[in-house]
Amino acid sequence: MSFSGNVKSELCRSEVEKNCCALAEAMGTLLFANTFAADCIRIVTENQDFGIRLPRLFRKGLGVSFDSLPQQNTAGKLIYQITEPEKIRSVFSTCGFSAHTSVSLHVNFALLEKECCQRAFLRGAFLAGGSVTDPEKRYHLELSTTHQSVSRETGRLLVEMNLAAKETERKGSAILYFKQSDSIEDFLTTIGAPVSAMAVMSAKIEKDWRNDANRKTNCDSANVDKAVAAAQEQLGAIRLLEKQDRLKTLPEKLRQTAALRCEYPETTLSELAELHEPPISKSAVNHRMRKLMQLASEE
């Protein structure tokens, strides 16, 4: 099962105890479902747990049953439909709409005055029209609906709940989405999926750890490359001085450092400083190397 499917299964493990929350979740499901119109209510899902939850949710929240149910043990898409006109009118009325006069659907905020109902509404919206990418790959959670006004009003609700989402459109649907891991964690926790939220957090921690390790490795590699290049430049200067028979005329300190560099061509300046008798500081070695290179550049 996909990560998105696991999230939905987690959400379906909790029972809706309050009638008000059942209604709010059912409204969220309807407004983000495949079809919520005066002639048909149609919900399509591939999640078996959501399929089991739907009939109970609609009976408790809306007082209606589906006219068409998928056969038991059906794999793939599960389709739930209400086509009886009287039932559809009842659903619209219970949600605060009119099946005949509502030009466009809206979020009925009168049903979402309690925080628990707001959470339930978002849970229903995600179960019907939501998806979330595996956090091991990338961070993306979205809610999709064909009702533009519903998307705008849900976006406003999210802002009020400190869960501000970005908005876009895709193939005639309005999309609310999150691309930050912490926002996705907060949203999942809010709608009742704390285990999935923790999985997102864990994935981010692991990614950050890997990225930090890679940065350190790259940094160390770059430093090694710089050290090797500098050592080769220093060796070139020393060999030039030796070829010109000038090295033996230099002060003892410079000759000692030059000899150690030739003997240990791959050591760092800090390591080279420790090899001196007696040991000297890294800055002293650096100063001597600069002097040797300066002398080699002089004609």
Maximal C-alpha separation, the chain: 109
Separation of alpha carbons 13 and 73, rounded Å: 19
**Dist. CA 129–CA 126, nearest whole Å:** 5
Quick check: bond before 278 cis, omega within 30? yes
Give the E-state strand segments of the chain in sequence order.
Answer: 35-36, 41-45, 78-82, 130-132, 141-145, 166-170, 173-178
For the whole model, what pTM was predicted?
A: 0.71
CA dihedral 51, 54, 55, 58 (to 10 degrees): -170
User: How far is residue 87's CA from residue 216's CA, in Å, rounded to a whole number?
Assistant: 63
Per-residue pLDDT of the chain (299 residues; tens, 9 = 90+): 899 999 999 999 988 889 999 999 999 999 999 999 889 999 999 999 999 999 999 999 999 999 998 876 667 889 999 999 999 999 999 998 876 655 578 999 999 999 999 999 999 999 999 999 999 888 999 999 999 999 999 999 999 999 989 999 998 899 999 999 999 999 999 999 999 999 998 888 887 777 776 777 767 667 777 777 777 888 888 888 888 888 888 888 888 888 888 888 877 888 888 888 888 898 988 898 888 888 888 75
